[in-house]
Amino acid sequence: MNRGRILVISGPSGSGKSSIINYLLTKIENATLSVSTTSRPMRKGEVDGIDYNFVTKDEFQKLIKEDKFLEYEHVHENYYGTRKDLVEDALEFGKLLIFDVDTRGRDNIHKHFSDITVSLFVTTPSRDILEERLRNRGTETEETLKVRLKNAVDEMKQLPNFDYFVVNDDLEKAKNDVLKIAELTEYKPSNSLTSALIELWEL
């Protein structure tokens, strides 16, 4: 049975994950984004149900109590989480499921689905460039910007745990590099596939 594959993309906020993921979604027919649930306020241009499922803090805490999350974290002072039911549905359809999660989220997803998960870390050439991009994006206050830059330093320390690493200097190049990596996920020998093949050889 083909259970689908997972590509987890992590990296500092502002490193270009969303820009790259949007490109992947136009290039890989079988790819779908794992739409996270969050309690953070919606940004201008974001669409509920497409970028995130936006809920209040109380609603998020209720979902935690109901055990609806595969994983969730309190990131940049907001809740973010992955719902179990959405992941299972996508994998059952054999999709390439793309996650945009922090590095702890990556660890949890890897724990659950190690045989089908490829992980990629995206970052900028420097901390200054990250700050410049976050400022230019115009989504942060001075306060939230500071939190994101501080968290970026901690996120960078997790870089050695990833399968792949892309420095987003030129966006076009970064997109193409990530596309190549995404295409490799297909060749990851999942447990279900290898056991079926081994069984066939034994006949």
Which tokens sit at 37? 């649930």
Q: Is 154 helix (H, G, I), strand (E, B) or coil?
A: helix
Identify the residue among 80, 113, 121, 162 touching ligand 5GP (CB under 6 A): 80
Amino acid at 5: R
Element (H, E) at 176: helix 171-184
Residue placing its CB nearer to ligand 5GP in the complex, 84 or 104: 104
Residue 155: name the closest of 125, 108, 121 by CA.
Answer: 121
10 lies in the binding site for ligand ADP (CB under 6 A)? no
Segment interacting with ligand 5GP, rule: CB under 6 A, options 60-68, 80-88, 130-138, 194-202: 80-88
135 lies in the binding site for ligand ADP (CB under 6 A)? no
| Partner from ligand 5GP, ligand ADP, none contacting 171, C-beta within 5 to 8 A by type | ligand ADP
Which residues have CB under 8 Å from 72's CB, separation 6+? 37, 60, 64, 79, 80, 81, 82
Residue placing its CB nearer to ligand 5GP in the complex, 102 or 131: 102
Rounded to a whole number of angstroms, the minimum distance from the CB of residue 193 to ligand 5GP is 27
Q: Tell me how many residues contact ligand 5GP (CB under 6 A).
A: 16
Residue placing its CB nearer to ligand 5GP in the complex, 36 or 185: 36
Identify the residue among 20, 60, 81, 175 touching ligand 5GP (CB under 6 A): 81
**E-strand stretches of the chain:** 5-10, 31-33, 37-38, 53-54, 69-75, 78-83, 96-100, 117-123, 164-167
96 lies in the binding site for ligand 5GP (CB under 6 A)? no
Amino acid at 115: D
Q: How far apart are CA 188 and CA 190, in angstroms?
A: 6
- The footprint of ligand 5GP (CB under 6 A) covers 10, 13, 36, 40, 71, 73, 75-76, 80-82, 100-102, 104-105
- The footprint of ligand ADP (CB under 6 A) covers 13-19, 133, 136-137, 168, 170-171
